[in-house]
Amino acid sequence: MQKLALAEKIVPLIAHMLLPAVLFGAALLWFYLGAPFGGGVTAGMHVFFYIFSFAGTIILLYFNLSKALFSILSIVVAYVLINLLKNVGGETYAASAAYQNLSVLLPLNLLFFYFWPNHRFLSQKTVALLLGFFAEYALAEHLSRAGISLNLSAGSAENGFNLPSFGLFLVLSVCTFVNAVRHGDIWNYNAFFAGLFCGCGLYYSASPSGLTIFFLGAVLCLLLSITQNIYLETYYDPLTGLFSRNSFIIHAKKFPVKYSLGIVSIDDYDKLAANFGKPVQNALIKLITAKLLELEKEDSIYRYSPDEFVIFYKNLDKNETFERIETVRRAVASALFEYSPRKKALKLTISGAVSEKKRQDLTAFEVLVRARKVLQKTRSFSHNVTSKA
């Protein structure tokens, strides 16, 4: 059983890491085996870099997300400035103070925006952050004009990849990879490989092929992360992995003629966070989710709200559904939930309600509302019970 549980934890981590890892490996092989690329191939990748950057920006603006957007902005600004410095400075661009400063600012910005909370983009904090971002580059330009470099390892910078730059990329890689392994988060894995791509892009910036392919890979990693996260958050609950409220809205349009809905609601949900904190509350929700999945393997389960789960039962009436929900309620009430090996296990209870589709019901929401009304009425005077609508 322990081996099975370990495998269940490892498989999602590998799955989330596989695509960016394959992308990074393919870019490295293509660069080492095929570089320098022809002018047409390099120009094509150059165009795709801006297309994918623009696509990611539009998606993030539409969903009003700032974290990944600032990371893309940092990569695009660095890519534009590196090409500009190469065109102006020629072969000596890497020795210029401007390039040395840029090679430090890029990993520094990626590291900062990695830890920056994912606030809404259209907010006062974003305006302040944008002003700070451009003020940073204005200061860097002033330092570069004065010949002042942030490179603390003068004479040892190869292709602009100096000691501060290497150290910052190393810190960025360690932070993103450790968090990815801990949480199995798509964003962390893609941020890790995006950092590796940017580091390779700086190291091989003297080669037009290397600069373009690696910076293109960095943007692709972030774009993959954006689209995967938006898809998962739209259709699945990020904490439990169950279907989300949005999924219920979508699936409800295709429910059959005969079905029933069961609602499972965690008793004293708000007190869990007040007494134990949000992390413990989330851990307990995961344990209850595991119990639901253990008992209802063949039915669709939706996390409809923070404390409510809706279970869809095809071709069952409300009496049959009542027995199923009662089984779940009794199983949860009799279980001990060990949220930490160093803490005492807790006993939790749930309340439930069931309702079946009637001939006059036009949508599944009428069935759901009927069950929720009964549940709310029951919970006003009792807990750990199941009611019929």
Identify the CATH number of the domain defined by range 245-388.
Answer: 3.30.70.270
The 3-class SS string of 74-94 reads HHHHHHHHHHHHHHHHHHHHH
**Amino acid identity for residue 263 in this structure:** I
* Cα end-to-end span (Å), the chain: 39
Residue 366, pLDDT score: 92
Q: DSSP secondary structure string, 34-78? A: HPSPPHHHHHHHHHHHHHHHHHHHHHHHHTTB-HHHHHHHHHHHH
The total of other beta-carbon atoms located within 10 Å of residue 339's CB is 17
Q: Is the dihedral of CA 13, 18, 23, 25 positive or negative?
A: positive
Helical (H) or strand (E) element with 95: none
Q: Cβ-count burial of 63 within 10 angstroms (0-12 exposed, 13-18 middle, 19+ buried)?
A: middle
Coil, strand or helix at 31: helix
User: At CA 147, angle to CA 208 and CA 130, rounded to 5?
Assistant: 70
Q: What pLDDT, on a 0 to 100 scale, did the predictor assign at position 142?
A: 92
pLDDT in tens, the chain (389 residues): 334 344 444 545 566 788 899 999 999 999 999 888 888 999 999 999 999 999 999 988 887 777 888 999 999 999 999 999 999 888 888 888 898 889 889 998 998 888 887 777 777 778 888 899 999 999 999 998 988 887 765 444 455 566 677 777 888 888 888 877 676 678 888 888 999 999 999 889 888 999 999 999 999 999 988 888 888 778 888 788 889 888 998 899 899 989 999 999 999 888 887 888 888 888 888 888 888 888 887 668 999 988 899 999 998 998 999 999 999 999 999 988 887 776 788 888 999 999 999 988 889 999 999 999 988 888 888 888 888 88
Nearest to 151 by CA among 168, 135, 134, 137: 168
CA distance 16 to 184: 7
With DSSP H G I counted as helix, E B as strand and the rest as coil, what are the percentages for the chain, rounded to 5? 70, 10, 20
Judge if pTM exceeds 0.75. Answer: no
Pinpoint the residues of the chain covered by CATH 3.30.70.270: 245-388
* CB contact set of 211 (below 8 Å; sequence gap of 6+): 79, 82, 83, 201, 204, 205
Q: How far apart are CA 196 and CA 234, in angstroms?
A: 29
Q: What number of helices (H) and strands (E) belong to the chain?
A: 13, 5
CA-to-CA dists, residue 305 to 254, 333, 350, 370, angstroms: 21, 21, 14, 16
Q: So what's the pLDDT on residue 135?
A: 93
